[in-house]
């Protein structure tokens, strides 16, 4: 199994890509500080717990996987490791 080496974040607004970010995998330690406050609020509203997601990733020995996807009518977020 190949371990993930990058944290990926893609943000779209009105269907158009506004951000496509690639960070080193060690950025997981700071994922909450990398995300805008509005995104963190949306995660809490959807009961998405970043701390437990990061723990799951570590427990899987950094197997590539999607953390979460949020699709609102105007804005969408996708966060994963590859």
Give residue-wise pLDDT tens across range 59-71: 999 999 999 998 8
Q: What is the pLDDT of residue 19?
A: 93
DSSP structure class, residue 27:
G
Rounded Cα–Cα distance for residues 72 and 67 (Å): 17
Give residue-wise pLDDT tens across range 9-65: 999 999 899 999 999 999 988 888 887 888 788 889 999 998 899 999 999 999 999
pTM listed for this prediction: 0.85
Q: What is the pLDDT of residue 24?
A: 96
Which of 44, 61, 73, 33 is closest to 9 using CA atoms?
A: 33
Which of 74, 81, 82, 80 is closest to 38 using CA atoms?
A: 74
């Amino acid at each position: 199994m190949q371990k993930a080496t990058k944290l990926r974040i893609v943000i779209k607004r009105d269907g158009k890509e506004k951000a496509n970010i690639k960070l080193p995998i060690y950025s997981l330690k700071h994922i909450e500080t990398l995300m805008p406050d509005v995104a963190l609020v949306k995660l809490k509203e959807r009961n998405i717990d970043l701390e437990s997601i990061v723990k799951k990733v570590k427990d899987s020995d950094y197997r590539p996987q999607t953390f979460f996807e949020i699709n609102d009518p105007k804005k969408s977020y996708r966060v994963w490791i590859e």
